[in-house]
Copies of this chain bind each other. A is one copy, B any other.
Amino acid sequence: MHSANKGIQRIGHKSGLPLMPAVASMSTLPKFAKTPKPPYYAVIFSSQRTEGDNGYAQMAERMVELASQQPGFLGVESVRDTDGFGITVSFWGSVKAIAAWKANLEHLAAQEMGKQKWYEHYELRVAKVERAYAKP
């Protein structure tokens, strides 16, 4: 459950590599993002998938992995129903962090594939989270 997963774990200290996020996919992330106290930013991405996978699932996993390694990444929550309609909300520390992620070269390639193949339609909204509550 969400409370059992402490979020992003870090590896690398035994190999001598710098500490790196070890998040590999949505399936290893908690469902609920452990965001800090506001203010911070949310990117709300609503999308309708086209028919067929066409390489989408693999790229989606890779984009979560890549996003979680970006400076300012705070977490992500994502859900898609059986009709292919989904909402993914990623959380960021600043507008600058969002802009850098948008301009990431591997992400740019994925964005282009999204427009051309994977999404029938999408809406993307950048919003500043001002208040937050959770179930007590």
Task: Give the B-binding residues of A (Cβ under 8 A).
Answer: 1-3, 31-33, 35, 38, 42, 44, 46, 48, 77-82, 85-87, 89, 115, 119-136
Q: Is the interface of A mostly helix, strand, loop or mixed?
A: strand
Name which of A46, A80, A115 has the most chain B CB atoms within 10 A of its CB. A46
Which residue of the partner chain B has the closest CB to A91?
B125
Which of B33, B126, B131, B136 interacts with A129 by CB under 8 Å? B126
Which of B38, B77, B121 interacts with A2 by CB under 8 Å? B121
**Contact of A128 with B128 in the complex, beta carbons under 8 Å:** yes
Which residue of the partner chain B has the closest CB to A124?
B133
Can you offer 14 A-B residue contacts whose CB atoms are under 8 A? A2-B121, A3-B121, A31-B48, A31-B85, A33-B123, A35-B125, A44-B89, A79-B81, A79-B85, A119-B135, A121-B135, A124-B133, A125-B131, A126-B132
